[in-house]
Amino acid sequence: MSNFNRFLLIIFISVLALFFALPKSFKIGDQEINRNDINISFGNFAFFRSLDLKLGLDLQGGTHLLFDVDTSGLSEAERESALASLKEVVSRRVNLYGVSEPNIQLASFEGKNRIIVELPGVDNPDEAIALVGRTAQLTFFELGGDEASPSAIPTDLTGSDVKSAQVVFDNVSAKPAVSIEFTTEGAVKFEEVTERNIGKAVPIVLDDQIISAPVVQDKISGGSAQISGDFTIDEADNLAIQINGGALPAPMSLVEQSTIGPSLGKESIDKSVQAGVFGIVIVAVFMILMYGKLGVVADVGLLLFTIYTLALYKLIPVVLTLPGIAGFLLSVGMAVDSNILIFERFREEIRDGVSREFALERGFGRAWDSIRDANIATLVTAFVLANPFNWSFLHTSGPVRGFAVTLALGIMISLFTGVFVSRTLLRLTVKDKKLKNEQK
């Protein structure tokens, strides 16, 4: 690739990144520009990204809850499916509560199972705790009343009568279905319920919401039943998880709660952002004072670094927290360092009396070793802290991870801007006054 093509590529990437990085609505002069979120779909492929930067609870306010899950009453095998179901149950409750973009996560450590619930914008935790924290209720209903005013009456068949539910494939149609296994006691109750309701629907209700309303074909004895219908695998999976949520009740107890008022961070954040911008401006001026024209190139690189980073935060998306900002700042420092390393090598080469263009290439070559080794070491640290494989003995959530993710991203982007972008721009800037003589 010629240097000019590289330059075009950089411009292309930058314009694209700028499109994502700019806020959703902003003003140029008197004109206000509003942009739509990205929403692409064709066939099975769907891609949606909001152009708003996602802020963590510590920056935007909200409620953070941590529950201990008591799985002592369950066998090893049941535990995993009970936890998955619990997560599903909690998600449903949170969705009913109308929170936008909640975060619900399972975490386990040394045999303790936990569920983390983060509710942005919720500042009344008591209500949220009451809603989220109760044990799931699964009940089979039967229909009563007449056709004009049908009513649903709860039966005595509940979640505690269900042993488990799982996805199976129908013998005849080969379509996904959900099979339910009842306890001995449940089998008797289920037989009675089905006997009373042949040809009628038996709604299954989880936490006051109907999750399925299968129609009874025949009296079913023996303690196992199958709900078949026009399910996709996902739908069948989901239904099985929900039934299990009521069948394998795992009581939760609150162990950590924090509420951050929306105003708490606000003033502090505004100040910190101002301070950050001020700091970056000083660094930019300092670079120009130290390195002149080269400093300008470094500053352009820094500006592009910020634009790329913002764009990636929105595309991935990364939830930005205070520790995340620390990771970002550290990577800014390292991006600047890459430039300083290159410029210092360049100076040394110039001092050796070679041409400027040659000095530039040699400087890059020599600086690259340091940049590579140093950044890989940092990347390794970030990788361990980010815990991408979700090892339970490391942090699976929270601030340390937030820090590591932005740091790792920052290092990768800074390798691109510090080396590829700076190099291309410098090659355009640094020209020998005399003819190109010593170029490689």
* Residue list 392-421, contact with another protein (CB under 8 A): 393-395, 398-400, 403-404, 407
Asked whether position 332 contacts another protein by CB under 8 A, the answer is yes
Q: Which of 275, 292, 293, 428 binds another protein (CB under 8 A)?
A: 275
Q: Which of 145, 150, 154, 261 binds another protein (CB under 8 A)?
A: 261
Q: How far is the CB of 136 from another protein (least distance, A)?
A: 22
Asked whether position 271 contacts another protein by CB under 8 A, the answer is yes
Q: 214 vs 323, which CB is nearer to another protein?
A: 323
Asked whether position 255 contacts another protein by CB under 8 A, the answer is yes
Asked whether position 105 contacts another protein by CB under 8 A, the answer is no
Asked whether position 362 contacts another protein by CB under 8 A, the answer is no
Q: 245 vs 410, which CB is nearer to another protein?
A: 410
Q: 11 vs 376, which CB is nearer to another protein?
A: 376
**In degrees rounded to 5, what are phi and psi of residue 211?**
-100, -20
Q: Return the range that interacts with another protein (CB under 8 A); candidates 90-98, 135-143, 177-185, 335-343.
A: 335-343
Q: 57 vs 225, which CB is nearer to another protein?
A: 57
Amino acid, res. 365: G
Cis check: omega of the bond before 262, within 30 degrees of 0 = no
CB burial of residue 58 (10 Å; 0-12, 13-18, 19+): buried
Task: Give the alpha-carbon dihedral of 320, 321, 324, 329, to 10 degrees.
Answer: 90
Asked whether position 373 contacts another protein by CB under 8 A, the answer is yes
Instruction: Check if the beta carbon of residue 225 is closer than 8 Å to that of residue 176.
Output: no
Asked whether position 356 contacts another protein by CB under 8 A, the answer is no
Distance CA 22, CA 34 (A): 10
Binding track over 121-140 against another protein, x by CB under 8 A = ----xx--------------
Asked whether position 377 contacts another protein by CB under 8 A, the answer is yes
Asked whether position 226 contacts another protein by CB under 8 A, the answer is no
Beta bridge partners of 65: 117, 257
Asked whether position 267 contacts another protein by CB under 8 A, the answer is yes
Cα 133–Cα 136–Cα 137 angle in degrees, nearest 5: 135
CB burial of residue 388 (10 Å; 0-12, 13-18, 19+): exposed
Asked whether position 269 contacts another protein by CB under 8 A, the answer is yes
Q: Which of 101, 352, 431, 438 binds another protein (CB under 8 A)?
A: 352
Distance CA 397, CA 64 (A): 12
Distance CA 427, CA 49 (A): 36
CB atoms within 10 A of CB 15: 10
Q: Which of 121, 203, 251, 276 binds another protein (CB under 8 A)?
A: 276
